[in-house]
Structure 1
Amino acid sequence: MIEDGKKAPDFALPDDNGGEVRLSKLKGRPVVVYFYPKDDTSGCTQEAKDFSCLAGEFAAEGAEVIGISPDSPKSHQKFKSKHDLQVRLLADEQKDVATAYGVWVEKSMYGKKYMGVERSTFLIDKSGKLARSWRKVRVPGHAEEVLEAVRELKR
């Protein structure tokens, strides 16, 4: 489990456009990394739409917003196109990054236990340190709260 104030674990993952994103290359500006369980499910779709609606405001603050799930780049491409999403989506198919951030956890549904992504968001400051984290995220109002935290970084 990573802690606020510590260096954020670096990663390099494929994105929805066939490229690769390395966190350390984004140093010098705030980065919002949100982990979500699955493309095109109700909560995940709403969260991606909420971040997309505020994409211009995040950009105005100099922040990059990145969504990460275990889905493939091809799945991300379809998801992004279907909902006109304005955020970069990265594929963590091996769950290495989710594990490094402590969000690949045991979950329970209808009494059955399984491994999955715990919806979580991390705000990484321009020096590469974890400025703030949100775990077990509830989607309504979350993107707005993260945007406000990005704005507070500049104060």
Structure 2
Amino acid sequence: MLEVGTKAPDFTLLDKNGTEVRLSDFLGKKVVLYFYPRDNTPGCTRQACAFARTYPEFQEKNVVVIGISKDSVASHLKFAQKHELPFVLLSDPELTAIQAYGVWQEKKLYGKVSMGVVRTTYLINEEGIIEKVMPKVKPDTNAEDILAYLAEGGQA
């Protein structure tokens, strides 16, 4: 996992419409970059809907919200349409950003060990530097936790 103060690795991935999006496109704005395991699973849906609900507050603060999983572009489009998600969803089937940000890790579920995305959120500042790292976030409170951090002046 990357640390606070590290330059955020740039990447180019496709969004839910198949359009290329680069992290560097957002220099000059804060970016919430959240990695999640899978579209349309209970926790991931709750997390995405929480970001959708609070999205106007992020917009007021000029903060970009980007969700990344290894799901396909088509899966992201259906997920976004079904839950009216107004923010950017990026498809990373090759694990380019997922591995660059250190969130592809060993997971244990019911005693079974497998590799997968560990739900993690990064806040990247206007210069492209990681300002905050939130590992193993809770889907229901992730968006509000970031807004609270930003309201406090963004001090860790």
TM-score category of the 2 structures, normalised to the smaller one: over 0.9
Q: Is the 8 A contact 1:11 1:23 kept in 2?
A: yes
Note the residue ranges of structure 2 that are not aligned, 5 or more in a row: none
Tell me, in whole angstroms, the C-alpha distance in 1 between the residues paired with 2:101 and 2:146: 18
* 1:92-120 CA-partner distances (Å, limit 9, x unpaired): 10112111111000111111111100000
TM-score, L = length of structure 1:
0.96
1:108 partner amino acid: K
Task: Report which stretch shifted further, 46-55 or 134-143.
Answer: 134-143
Q: Is the 8 A contact 1:123 1:150 kept in 2?
A: no
2:125 pairs with 1:125: yes
Identity of aligned residues (%): 47
Tell me, in whole angstroms, the C-alpha distance in 2 between the residues paired with 1:147 and 1:19: 28
Structure 1 residue 140, shift from structure 2 partner: 2.3
1:118 partner amino acid: V
TM-score, L = length of structure 2:
0.95
Secondary structure in 2 matching 1:93: coil
Aligned to 1:141: 141
Tell me, in whole angstroms, the C-alpha distance in 2 between the residues paired with 1:49 and 1:71: 17
Aligned to 2:12: 12
Note the residue ranges of structure 1 that are not aligned, 5 or more in a row: none
Q: Is the 8 A contact 1:15 1:21 kept in 2?
A: yes
State the superposition RMSD in angstroms.
Answer: 1.2
Q: Would you say how many aligned residue pairs link Structure 1 and Structure 2?
A: 154
Aligned to 1:83: 83
* 1:37-79 CA-partner distances (Å, limit 9, x unpaired): 0000000000000000111110110000000000001000000
Tell me, in whole angstroms, the C-alpha distance in 1 between the residues paired with 2:148 and 2:111: 37
Q: Is the 8 A contact 1:125 1:153 kept in 2?
A: no
Tell me, in whole angstroms, the C-alpha distance in 2 between the residues paired with 1:96 and 1:141: 27
2:32 partner amino acid: V
2:74 pairs with 1:74: yes
Tell me, in whole angstroms, the C-alpha distance in 2 between the residues paired with 1:9 and 1:141: 26
